[in-house]
Structure 1
Amino acid sequence: MGPDSRFRALFDDPRWALAIVRATVLEAAHPQIGAALLDSSTFVTHPWRRLRNTLLSLQRMFGPDDHVRQREAARLNRLHARLNGTDARHRPYDALDPAVRAWVVATLFESAVTMCRMSGQPLDQEATEQLYAEFQAYLAALGDDGGHLPPTLHEFWSYYDRVVEEELENTEAMRIILYKLFDHLPAPPLLHGLPTLWAAGRAVAGPVIGAVTVASLPEPFRRRAGLPELPGTRTLMQGAYLAVGLARLLPEGWVSAEGITDLLALSPGSDDPRARTVAALRDRMKRAGALIRLLTPLPPEPEPAADDGTRRSAEEFFAEVLDQTGNGYLDWPDLAAMARELSGRLDLDEPEETRLYDAFADWWRELQSALDTDGDGRISAHEYAAAVPSLAGPALIKVAEVLFDATDKDGDQTIDAEEYRTLFHTAFLRDPAGTQVAYTRSAFVKDFLSFMSGRRRSTAYDPLLADA
């Protein structure tokens, strides 16, 4: 492990983008993982946030600092300990199941090997064994016993084929990734305000990515899952891997994962020196979008509300903020996703992390008691809209106070500029809008309640909890 590992080099290999989609599909096809994704994940509604968090986690795990690696492993274990339940067929799932975690690592390793083979540059035996050893070390860093991944590379392939043929299923989570995620993928911050251009590009890229991914899956699973392979898709798949691989010939640093994520998250109003270039790029994109609208008219966009732009309806707030998992309901996994995002941004350890989760759990019980009128254990958009949207009881106030304490690292009862950045930075931006020198407890609680009760938009909280 470390910056010189083979796995670390994958981060900046453009082919890895296709391989990680393939690995995610194979993970989601496992019944336990598919159930956990469907119940608790935000990968459909907040894919760019999920991408950023995954990249950050891998950077920590494969970086040079062993202390950082140990803290990240402990954080991942706490996160996985909270992901358990039963699927639609009443089968239990548990994200700490060592066999399940071994399968996640197995899909990443096998997809990396397949990625190289499909692009005409297969790894030799020595390189493959080294990469496998690094993935085994990754699993060991999480504290899992080595027995759940075969000890040798030769034994791995038999294990992999057995799981593919006997355990994987055509799960709903897998179908969402293949056929829904890319069709509804929201624009990254760089392309906000350019819906026509984004929709046109997505309409072309979405089906291609889905077809390439299906063609790259193991044939026994494709047959058993009933996944159609259209004529010519294998040629398309190989061409896609070869074409994406050519990006490696660009000057060093142009295709770094962090640089690309940084660029996608960049907005013209940031303090980044590239903001002027992005602003000019957006202007050209708007012109291209106007041309596309002339050539292929789309349905007219809704007129903006006649107010100052800071208010939103109860339905908008429910969909954009409360329903983090995108299933159309508000339940505990949605608030747990908020707690998870806030804990990750603040890099909380115990007991602060559990204190924040407990505060959100109390708020969920308060919301459920007040709004769940039909007693089904969850809150629909209609139930929320029919109630008082500005509901802000004692439990939500407690969430605000706990979050303030977690952000106020030095305990001086004010949030300084650096502490503010830690909570509100958007992806890799250095300075979020509205950075304050001294943010008092009362002001923080007031702003948090104003946002979380659905009364007003917020330039700080919207990128934190509402943006994709």
Structure 2
Amino acid sequence: MQAKSMWRSMPPDVQQQHGQDSEHFRKCLDYLREQSAGELEGIYGPDSMTWVLYREPVILLGGLRAILLQIAHPAVASGVSQNSNFRGDLLGRARRTYTAMYQLVFGGLREAMGAAKRVHSIHGRVYGSLPAGADPRGDGRYRANDPALLRWVLATLIDGAIVVFETFVRPLSLEEKRRYYQETRLAAAQFGLLPEQMPPTLEAFYAWYDEQLAGETLRVEDTALELASLLFNSPFTRGQLDELLTAGLLPERWRETYGLAWGTGEQRAWKLLKGTMRRAINLTPPTLRYVTAWHQAQLRLALARGERPTVMARVLNTLDSYVDVPFSIRPVAVKAPTDDKD
């Protein structure tokens, strides 16, 4: 009933575009089914670079960076401002976003496809008119499933994952970056973009991405500045540390545009923070630092292969059955063997 009511409330031209977007998304789902690693492995699978990057919880530190770059596009900023509970439930929105992200990356195929459908459905309800003078293309309208906006949002996540991983974990080889970028064709399809709607290679992607960062389409206006202020003054991001982390990760132009401090003191603090975090991360055993979602995916695969899951995977999965463990997906159903002595 709610979906029908939403459909009836749409202007006729929006209804037509919504139908076209839905048909296009069905093609994306077909592509995902054909190219996925497997029913149990999910979209990417354990041998993917995507799992290598996203099993590191430090990747989440790029969240504020990505959002600031996303809302530098006036249409994205308007969509977030007009259609989101960003102001009233920032923490809840962040948790739902990260849960969906981990389902897309580490979920089995059915779970990942379900998450992609939910994201597309939510985006389908996000459309509206831009403030006067805020439209870089001239039609005065926006919709979240616009391929140009989807491509920009996804681009900030692709680049952000590489930047954060290399900053805090280790350098990536050119081959690893190329492998990761080719896997983002699957991420694009999850968003609603077919492979041909993305640059074909890592080098082509960065040529386009750098052009966007330096061009005139992106510009920080009042709406973006208001949203940025909310980001840095929420109950869980208030303080200089979040601003320092974001300033250190942002390109120089956008650090200055958002008014983030970057004097001698901030640069020294960033260098110290970056080095300390990198040492701490690399001294922490992988099984202790990887996100719960990765452990749950490993548990799912081990059970399917008739192998004994790790103790860490079982503990985290069991705990997630009782409390909402951060960075998790849905708990994996486990039937403990009768001869289990652990």
Structures share fold, TM-score greater than 0.5: yes
Specify the SS of the correspondent of 2:103: helix
Specify the alignment match of 1:100 in structure 2. 149
Contact 2:81 2:227 (8 Å CA) reproduced: no
- Per-residue CA deviation, residues 110-153 of structure 1 (Å, 9 max, x unaligned), is 11222234347321101101111122211123441223321011
- Per-residue CA deviation, residues 259-315 of structure 1 (Å, 9 max, x unaligned), is 8xxxxxxxxxxxxx99xxxxxxxxxxxxxxxxxxxxxxxxxxxxxxxxxxxxxxxxx
* AA partner of residue 218 (structure 2): L
C-alpha deviation, 1:248, in angstroms:
4.5
* AA partner of residue 289 (structure 2): V
Residues 1:237 and 2:270 aligned together: yes
Q: Tell me the TM-score normalised to structure 1 length.
A: 0.48
Residues 1:49 and 2:92 aligned together: yes
Deviates more, 1:228-237 or 1:77-86: 228-237
- Per-residue CA deviation, residues 357-386 of structure 1 (Å, 9 max, x unaligned), is xxxxxxxxxxxxxxxxxxxxxxxxxxxxxx
Residues 1:220 and 2:269 aligned together: no
- Per-residue CA deviation, residues 40-60 of structure 1 (Å, 9 max, x unaligned), is 223343233223212221222
Specify the alignment match of 1:77 in structure 2. 120
Specify the SS of the correspondent of 1:93: strand
Q: Which consecutive unaligned segments of at least 5 residues does structure 2 have? A: 1-43, 135-139, 294-314, 327-342
* AA partner of residue 76 (structure 2): I
RMSD over equivalenced CA pairs, Å: 3.0
C-alpha deviation, 1:255, in angstroms:
3.3
In the aligned structure 2, how far is the partner of 1:103 from the partner of 1:238?
Answer: 29
For residues 378-457 of structure 1, the aligned pairs below 5 Å read: 427-428=324-325
Q: Which consecutive unaligned segments of at least 5 residues does structure 1 have? A: 187-201, 260-272, 275-421, 430-468
Residues 1:163 and 2:212 aligned together: yes
Specify the alignment match of 1:184 in structure 2. 234
Specify the alignment match of 1:36 in structure 2. 79
Specify the alignment match of 1:361 in structure 2. none
* AA partner of residue 252 (structure 2): E
Question: Could you tell me the percent identity over the aligned residues?
Answer: 25
Aligned residues: 250
Distance 1:155 1:74, change over 3 A: same
For residues 221-370 of structure 1, the aligned pairs below 5 Å read: 221-223=254-256, 228-245=261-278, 246-258=280-292
Residues 1:86 and 2:129 aligned together: yes
Specify the SS of the correspondent of 1:132: helix
Specify the SS of the correspondent of 1:232: helix
In the aligned structure 2, how far is the partner of 1:214 from the partner of 1:172?
Answer: 19
Q: Tell me the TM-score normalised to structure 2 length.
A: 0.63
Contact 1:12 1:257 (8 Å CA) reproduced: yes
C-alpha deviation, 1:173, in angstroms:
5.0
* AA partner of residue 151 (structure 1): P
C-alpha deviation, 1:103, in angstroms:
1.2
Specify the alignment match of 2:59 in structure 1. 16
C-alpha deviation, 1:9, in angstroms:
3.3
Distance 1:172 1:52, change over 3 A: same
In the aligned structure 1, how far is the partner of 2:176 from the partner of 2:102?
Answer: 21
